[in-house]
Structures are given as C-alpha cells and as structure tokens.
Structure 1
C-alpha cells in the first residue's frame, strides 16, 4: 500500500496520569506516557511491566486438570514408567517439547520425545507417534502444542494401553478428548485468568506445577530451573505470535535476560553462528529473531528433530555441526519460500477487490502454505487462505488480521472440512477436493457479511506525539525499556510534528527544537523539498528497530496535516 493511503491514528492518553506515574517512580516522562498509552497507569502495574519477577507468575494449579496431570506424571516417575513427549514441528511446539522433556528428566523420569513431520503426518498426535511410543514401552504420552482436537488418536493410544495427557493452547472446537488430563487455558470451563499462553507457555506452567508440588509453595529449586526454561519460552512465544502481555510479558522479559546470559550450549552455538554471518555486533533481539528462524528450519525425520537435539545437547562440537546444517536448511527454506510466494503473486491482480483472498495452488509445498498466507495477509491487509496438496486431498492455511476471527469463519464450514483448528488469527484445515467449491463460497459469504471496506485500510496506530525536549539522547533507552516487542506489545510508534530535515538519504537526520535524531529510511523516499528547492518541514512517524536504531515509518509535509 502506498504511504499516502495510510491512516494515522494517534492514541488519546491521560497526560495527567503520565505525569503522576513519572513523579511516583521517578521515571522519564516519555516512558510514563508510553506506559499510559498501553493501559498501564499504576506504579505497581508499571513495575510488573518493566521489571517482572518469578513471583509474578500465576498459580499453575488454576489451570483446569493441572492437578490430574501432575499426579499422573509423578506416578510415572515414581513407578519407573517411560514417558514420551509428542510435540509439534514448529518453534513453539519444539521449544515446548524441550521444556517439558528437561523438567521430566531433572525429576528422574525416563523420558523421550517424538515430533511428527508436518508434511508426512500432519498436526497433532499421529498414529506413528503412538506406534513408536508403544514400541519404546511408554505408558504415558504427553502432548505439547497439540492434542486438544485429537479425540480419535487419544482413544487409539488408550486401546494400546497408553495414557495421554494433553498440554495445548489451541481453541477448543469439539468435545475434549478422553485423556487423563487436558490442560488448555482456552477450555470453555477454564477459570485461568489468562488465555494467551503459547504451547511452550503451557509446558512451562506444567513444569512450574511439577516443581512446586501439591503444596504449591515457593521452592529454591524453581528459581534455579526457571531461567533455563524461560529462554525457550521467549523463543516459542515470539515465534507463535501470542500476545506479549500479562503472564507472557513476565516470561518474555525474564526470558530475554536469560537468553542474553545463556549457558545452553545450543543457544550459544546459534548466537555464534549468527554473529559469524555479520560484520557488526548483533543486538539481543536480532539474535532472538535469528535463532527463531534457524530453529524453525529444522525438519522432523522419524520422530527426531535437529532443533530439539540442538537445544538438548551438552556437546559444543555437535551443536556447531547442527547449526551449520540448520543454516543450510534455512537458506533452502528461504529460497523455496521466495519462489513459492512469487508463484502466488502471479495468481493475483495487484489490486484486490474481494474482502478475503482464497487461492488454490498445488505446486506450493504444504509446509510453505502458512508462510505465503501470512505474507498475503500483510501485503493486502485482509484475511488470506492458501490451499495446496497434502497426500491425496487438500490442506489449507489461513491467516487473518486481529479484527477477523478465522475460527468463527471456519466453524461455518465444519461439516465440509475433514479437520480444522488453530487460533483466531491463524488456522489450518483439510478437506476433500469435491467440497472445495462449497467451502470457498461459504467463506466468501461469511467475509462479505463481516468485513467493511474501512477495515482494509492500513492504519498506523501511533502511541504518542512527542513533545519538545523528548527527542534527546535518552530516547533509544526509553523505547528499549518496552522490549521485547511482539504481538500485543508492538514496537511503539511515535509522532514528531514540524521537524526540519538537516540530512537526507538512506540515513536522514531531523531536528526539532534543540534536539536532533538520526533515522534509517529504508523506503528511500523522494527529496523533501518544495518547488523552489527549500527543505520542507515534516511530520514523521518513527520507531525503534531490532538493531537499536530509529526507523522512519512514515512522513508527510506538515502543511498536509494542518
């Protein structure tokens, strides 16, 4: 979308609340105003947001069925039963698998893992996973980031003499499976105060419950164990785009600190490999995003996964070998992703009239459907569904903006789909070819009824307008205090009005009053001068990038906003 089509919306904040918070905590007024813009106006709320502690985590036993899950796991440990953790082949499921596996082994369990291949086995508790668990002599399967819609596989495991505990965070769209326990904050009967946990977050809460024990008391052991797990919770939560607020904010802030000081051999190898690709020092969030990208490239084979092995290893040499392999896999993945998305774009007109995009292309690899759908959503600012081939049938991935509920949309086609599930903003499904026309018609009708053309405008939601003296040397430090950024806690957008451009180019310098800031202009906008060649005064929107440099997001001549 062209810059001039963007709509600027500046948050209206309680300036007096910002001043009170500034005085109460002795913080910069700019930081206090940014917190108020995010709904945080009390000193205690600001403390929890900026400097959370382990004590800020909720009681894990508030999650439905957590007590049953802990009791069954403890029984397996005490009786020497083998436990198999079955995860999901993405960064969230992979990190969640490692979190649970490590805590089980620390507590003395005989435990292994199985990560089904998305391409060959699909999402969830697969028949191969059950067969492998039975072959290994497992008496208990614990699913991570999957299982809440797996009623038939759970029943099959039971027929094979294997109990199942489900740890999941996806929406519940059918009766719960007949598992020993189903721990999911999105259960309709859940009293848990926060629904937004990632799969790795649910695994972490289970680890917290296991260490705390039935008396739920504080344990010094938990304070020692938690940081090693929180660095994984950070990676999985950001990768799965769960909202980084409430309990996820606690995990993300503490996880980022743990990540920066990590002693985990696999993460050290990842960071070393990423730094070796650059001719400059990488910042913490650049390393986080780079690590997520490399871990995401790990593919499962026969239940094993290089990403899991990397995070579990204690051997530096093997870690380096795996990172080298993952870098090559990542390069291949990105090349295939670019080619696939180019193929998708050729199917579209540049201007899209329909409120939802539905495309079918059986040449797109199944594992890239979600990536391409996500890019379509971002490019055209509307829901996108991409359908491809999986086995003898079809499978689709859907991605949508915050204001569109994909789960509600897919529910209207429940009887047409063989399987479906996911979240409000990201979902997947499978269907037979003969039902594709009816499915497409129903989804288009649903979207036409609920999407207004106004919804399709690109809106820049600006946190605050900065005033005189707020563009000083502490600006970057203040913005960095809101990290880590992510879904539900985006990088703040700031508006500065009537600034003078003193230097132009890929890196420009603007001046307001006695302060000046340097900005990276990735779009290389045209020269900001009037017809006589004199510099124009601008209104600019900017933010802080992962590299700790300010980024120019949008700009307009001041006279256009007067």
Structure 2
C-alpha cells in the first residue's frame, strides 16, 4: 500500500508569497515546493510573459543560421525543408514554411516516409528532397540530422548549404560547413530543454530581428505570437520540461490554441471531440491532437499533417482531419494487439528478468515505440520491442529512471 508523506514548506516563504501575490495558501505552498520561494520568481512562474524570453542569438550558431536564411530570402534562393514525422517535426516544419512564405519564399517541404525511408534524415529522404527539379540552394533539416553524417556530406556534394535544427544527442561530428543549431551539441546546456519547434521559434525570432534591422517592411507585419499555438503543441507532445521559456510558450500558446485561426487545427479539434471555447489544456494536446498528428507519420505520410496546419481550405481541412482520426483508430487497434501479444511473451519467458526484449515478425514498425513505452511503464523495467524488417530485427527501446539504453 502506498504511503503519502506531507512535508510542509517553510511557513515564512509561504506566507510572504500569499501576502505579496494575493494567492491561496495551497498555491503558495505548491509554488515554493516547485523552487520559487521569492515573490519575483514566483510571479514570473505564475504569470509567464513573452517579453521575458531571451535573445535568440544566445543559442550557438543560431545567428549564423538566421543570417544564411536571410541571404536566401534576399536573393530568392530555393529552400528545401525536411522535418521529422512526429508532432515536434510536423509543427516545426509548418511553422518555418509558413514564416518563410510571409517573405515570398515558398519553400518545398518533405517529411520522411517511415516505412520506405526509415527514421530521420536518411539517404533516401535526402535524395527525394533534392530531386525537386530546380536545384536547391539551402537545405534545412528539422528535428533530425544531428547524426546524419553521410547524408549531410551528400547534400553538400550537390552544391547545397545545410542547416540542421535539432535537439537530439550527437554520436559523431558532422562535416565542416554544416550549420548545426542544437544546444545539446553546441551549447552549454542552458538551452537544452527546448524541443525543435521551440528552437525554430527562436530561429524565426532571430530572422525577424535581422530583417527589421534591414528595415524590411514585411518583418514589421509579422507577429511571432501568432505561431505559439503550434509551438505549444510540439512542446507539450515532445514531453520536454515545461519550465523557463517552454512554460512561456505553452502557457501563452494554449490560450492561442483555444482561439486559433488555423482552419486545420479547428477541424482537428472538432474531429477530436474538443470544445475550444472551454479552453485547451495540455492533456488535450497529449491525448487528442498529438496522437492524431503522430498517427499519420506512423501509418501513412506525415506531410498530410503539415498540409493540414498550413491549409486555408475548409473542405480539405475537414477531410484530412477525418483521415488522421481514422489513422489514429487504426493505430490504437494495432497497438492493442501488439501489447497483448508482447505481454504474453513477457509472462511466459521473462517475468523474472530485469530487462525485457520482445519480438514479433508481423509487428508494425510505426507502433513498436509506443508499445515499448507501455511495457516499460507497466513492468517498470527497460524494454526493447522488435519487429521484422527484411532479414533484420528492428525496433525501439524505452527505459526507466537510472538505466540509460544508449550509454
């Protein structure tokens, strides 16, 4: 039986917050428990303001990336964007494509096809992205590419500059000349809580600063706050800590999401059974919007989800939202079947093991990651779930606190 222990916080700190911020005792105690025991920091935590975000150029290489994109905008260069197929990648891609369009640059975008091309920036994905008729001048990889050394070299060999905006850990060094915006690799850790859509928001902020310095009239008509609806979605769905600037993005972004002008999001919320008039909460993103966007990448083509976020066509938005809902229902059925079979394997042969490895030759590769998360949580053990891909077993792993599957 679980035993709950109550450890009261210092009465002096709690009392000071109650008095100065005019909040309840319970709220004051929770805020102190979260580490905000002085009125100023507690006020910032309770009432996040967009004006408090830091200069984007504090992130290593971000200013260089912004300058290269401004160069492409100024000279009408062709830009290709490749974003990952999860919610973070989809929202990152939609944000940057829409932002660049405001300056008259209609960037081509692609999303990796999970079943045909695999995960991340693979050679097949890079070749498809570069095969766009007219030569690309600038390739921007979002939420992928940090470890795509050979693919980066291939893109450069085509006479194309490469910018990678990502938040995954690095295993090897990229070729010289690649602009990598990744606080985990280039930074000191202070900005490492961002997911990719947060970094892309910072990148657009940097571009906007440079364009306003150029007195570009378009830059003065763009309001970055308008993008926080999709920034909040990617941030919540990617499970990064909702602290510091991430908290600002999500707090303001959820309010924007409740009143979004994006027809695609409006359609998806209706199909998901949401009533935005009652406000959108993190749980709505995690269990309603996020899974439907993810399902397109797991079972079909995540570019559908990007197109949904970009479209102003009401009929297309409703039709696409219904497709994503159908994909999600199919994903749920596949997941349920695999979980049941995997648990039978565990109970039969691995009940006493400290780590779990399960395999099914017909298990869908787009769902094994979710199953691994489910098993790891249910059994409180590290878990690897494998399916068959050609002559290989390929899958995904999830772990528990204290056990690193990579290191």
Q: Tell me if TM exceeds 0.5.
A: yes
Higher strand fraction (1 or 2): 1
In the alignment, which residue of structure 1 is the partner of 2:202? 205
Match of 2:338 among 337, 340, 345: 340
Do the aligned partners of 2:97 and 2:106 also contact (CA within 8 Å) in 1? Answer: no
CA 1:12 to 1:227, structure 2 compared with 1: closer, same or farther past 3 Å?
same
Q: Across the two proteins, how many residue pairs are aligned to each other?
A: 400
In the alignment, which residue of structure 2 is the partner of 1:39? 35
Q: Give the deviation of 1:364 after TM superposition.
A: 1.5
Q: Deviations over 1:258-292 (max 9, x none)?
A: 1111111111111122238x9x9975225433111
In 2, Cα distance between equivalents of 1:109 and 1:338: 44
**SS of residue in 2 equivalent to 1:406:** coil
CA 1:215 to 1:44, structure 2 compared with 1: closer, same or farther past 3 Å?
farther
CA 1:257 to 1:221, structure 2 compared with 1: closer, same or farther past 3 Å?
farther
In 2, Cα distance between equivalents of 1:214 and 1:389: 50
Matches within 5 A, 1:181-330: 181-187=179-185, 189-191=186-188, 193-213=190-210, 225-275=223-273, 284-285=280-281, 286-288=283-285, 289-299=287-297, 305-330=303-328
Structure 2 unaligned spans of 5+: none
Do the aligned partners of 1:149 and 1:177 also contact (CA within 8 Å) in 2? Answer: no
Match of 2:71 among 67, 72, 75: 75
Do the aligned partners of 1:115 and 1:300 also contact (CA within 8 Å) in 2? Answer: no
CA 1:8 to 1:400, structure 2 compared with 1: closer, same or farther past 3 Å?
farther
In the alignment, which residue of structure 2 is the partner of 1:475? none
Matches within 5 A, 1:51-130: 51-130=47-126
In 2, Cα distance between equivalents of 1:401 and 1:7: 22
In 1, Cα distance between equivalents of 2:177 and 2:290: 31
Matches within 5 A, 1:340-379: 340-349=338-347, 352-379=351-378
Q: Give the deviation of 1:228 after TM superposition.
A: 2.6
Q: Deviations over 1:347-390 (max 9, x none)?
A: 01288433322223332111111100100111112222212223
CA 1:173 to 1:270, structure 2 compared with 1: closer, same or farther past 3 Å?
same
Do the aligned partners of 2:342 and 2:359 also contact (CA within 8 Å) in 1? Answer: no
Structure 1 unaligned spans of 5+: 409-562
CA 1:56 to 1:347, structure 2 compared with 1: closer, same or farther past 3 Å?
same
CA 1:315 to 1:214, structure 2 compared with 1: closer, same or farther past 3 Å?
closer
Q: Give the deviation of 1:223 after TM superposition.
A: 9.3
In 2, Cα distance between equivalents of 1:181 and 1:399: 30
In the alignment, which residue of structure 2 is the partner of 1:144? 142
Do the aligned partners of 1:64 and 1:192 also contact (CA within 8 Å) in 2? Answer: no
CA 1:241 to 1:74, structure 2 compared with 1: closer, same or farther past 3 Å?
same
In 2, Cα distance between equivalents of 1:27 and 1:304: 44
Could you tell me the TM-score, scaled by structure 1's length?
A: 0.67
Which protein is bigger by CA-based radius of gyration? 1
